[in-house]
């Protein structure tokens, strides 16, 4: 695993503080969406289908910082939309770094090379590049030829300038374990710090509804992909989450683990479902009917979901919830064997 020690320590001490306080529901990563606008229209994305006046809107840097402070999570993920289309993205990143938040700026990297000058390398800032597989798979997922090559160029440029660079990959039905293993080799050869994986979620508003993974198929795919992992593969996420995707753990969703803030407010209940908005983080936490979500709730929308934003916080909480789970995490981290 490839998460830097300082980040591991920050997250570990944060989670342990929550446990000592007896806080059962706490945020781990704030999903901050400063805008919905994007320069791609990917098949599996349900984030950008809005009328023009909504796509033109964006949050101010000040409002973003307020939300980050209100939430208190040690990590901030900036998806969107395409965050590099946000006019103040450099200033926003700098403000969050100044507050010692570990920032993952999730981008398709089309604009990354030309915007790199707006950023300063820092251990707190990572570019998380959207890469859904080898060239043909990625370009098909983003519905545009040439994007894979643009992203590879941008990764090389960012790595050369000393930035932390990771990849984030969403997997859909039909993904080939063999091609994915080739993809892992390619990404590591580019010098990325680590890779993040997640099965896709079937957004009701996404154009492609046919290729979202069901639970059993997810286990099968991740077992075929990650059994016998190569030594040089590094994953920038909880090893227990990867083991969950392989069917070695059964985790329930913790939708409050990655709360989402965007131009509409605090999204209920999670990054993927839009069932309403709260005006403050406190209101979100106190007035959302959390029992209505997660697989065990019987909620049809949650039945097949194994997505990182609901289940990785569960895995992290589990890591610090027992000596056995902590030992398992340490063992996987040291040996690289999933």
**Residue ranges binding another protein (CB under 8 A):** 41, 43, 46, 49-51, 53-54, 56-57, 140, 143-144, 205, 207-208, 264-265, 276-277
* CA 307 centroid distance within chain: 9
By C-beta, is 43 or 223 nearer to another protein?
43
In degrees rounded to 5, what are phi and psi of residue 276? 140, 175
Minimal distance, residue 9 CB to another protein, in Å: 39
Residue 48 C-beta: closest distance to another protein, Å: 8
- Residue 263 CB, shortest distance to another protein, in Å, is 8
Closest approach, Cβ 211 to another protein, in A, equals 9
Q: Tell me how far apart the terminal alpha carbons of the chain are, to the nearest angstrom.
A: 10
Considering the complex, what minimum distance in angstroms separates the CB of residue 155 from another protein?
24
SS (H, E, C) the chain: CCCCHHHHHHHHHHHHHHHHCCCCCCCCEEEECCECCCCCCCCCCCCCCCCHHHHCCECCHHHHHHHHHHHCCCEEEECCCCHHHCCCHHHHHHHHHHCCCEEEEEECCCCHHHHHHHCCCCCCEEEEEECCCCHHHHHHHCCCCCHHHHHHHHHHHHHHCCCEEEEEEEECCCCCHHHHHHHHHHHHHCCCCEEEEEECCCCCCCCCCCCCCCHHHHHHHHHHHHCCCCCCCCECCCHHHHHHHCCCCCCCCCHHHCCEEECCEEEEECCCCEEEEECCHHHHHHHCCHHHCCHHHCCHHHCCCCCHHHHHHHHHHHHCCCHHHHHHHHHHHHHCCC
Closer to another protein by Cβ: residue 49 or 299: 49
Q: Which is nearer to another protein, 17 or 282 (CB)?
A: 282
Residue with tokens 């993974």: 213
Least CB distance to another protein at residue 169 (A): 18
**Which residue lies nearer to another protein by CB, 134 or 159?**
134
Residues 10/74, Cβ–Cβ less than 8 Å: yes
| Shortest distance, position 282 Cβ to another protein, whole Å | 16
Whole-angstrom distance, CA of residue 141 vs CA of residue 43:
6
Residue 56 vs 63, nearer CB to another protein: 56
* Smallest distance, another protein to C-beta of residue 186, A: 22
- For another protein, give the closer residue by CB, 182 or 205: 205
Q: How far apart are CA 337 and CA 2, in angstroms?
A: 14
How far apart are CB 45 and another protein at their closest, in Å?
Answer: 10
Of residues 46 and 177, the one with the C-beta less far from another protein? 46
Give 34 or 313: the residue with its C-beta nearer to another protein: 34
Q: What angle do CA 101, 105, 109 make, to 5 degrees?
A: 160
């Amino acid at each position: 695993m490839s998460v830097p020690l300082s980040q591991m320590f920050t997250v570990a001490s944060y989670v342990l503080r929550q446990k000592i306080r007896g806080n059962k529901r706490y945020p781990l990563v704030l999903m901050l969406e400063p805008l919905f606008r994007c320069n791609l229209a990917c098949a599996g994305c349900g984030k950008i289908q809005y009328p023009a006046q909504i796509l033109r809107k964006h949050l101010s840097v000040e409002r973003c910082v307020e939300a980050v402070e209100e939430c208190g999570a040690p990590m901030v993920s900036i998806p969107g939309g395409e965050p590099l289309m946000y006019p103040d993205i450099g200033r926003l990143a700098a403000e969050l770094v100044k507050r010692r938040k570990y920032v993952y700026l999730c981008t398709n990297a089309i604009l990354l090379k030309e915007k790199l000058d707006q950023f300063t390398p820092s251990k707190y800032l990572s570019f998380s590049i959207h890469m859904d597989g080898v060239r043909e798979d990625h370009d098909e997922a983003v519905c545009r030829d040439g994007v894979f090559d643009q992203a590879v160029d941008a990764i090389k440029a960012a790595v050369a300038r000393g930035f932390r660079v990771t990849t984030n990959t969403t997997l859909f039905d039909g993904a080939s374990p063999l091609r994915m293993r080739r993809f892992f080799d390619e990404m590591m050869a580019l010098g990325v710090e680590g890779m993040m994986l997640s099965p896709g979620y079937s957004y009701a508003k996404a154009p492609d509804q046919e290729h979202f993974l069901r639970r059993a198929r997810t286990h099968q795919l991740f077992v075929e992909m990650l059994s016998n992992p190569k030594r040089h593969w590094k994953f920038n996420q909880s090893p227990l989450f990867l083991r969950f995707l392989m069917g070695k753990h059964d985790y329930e969703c913790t939708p409050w683990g990655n709360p989402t803030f965007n131009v509409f407010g605090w999204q209920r209940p999670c990054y993927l479902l839009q069932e309403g908005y709260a005006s403050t983080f406190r209101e979100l936490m106190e007035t959302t009917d959390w029992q209505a979500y997660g697989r065990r709730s019987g909620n049809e929308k949650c039945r097949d979901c194994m997505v990182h934003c609901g289940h990785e916080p569960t895995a992290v909480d589990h890591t610090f919830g027992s000596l056995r789970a902590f030992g398992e995490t340490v063992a996987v981290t040291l040996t690289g064997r999933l």
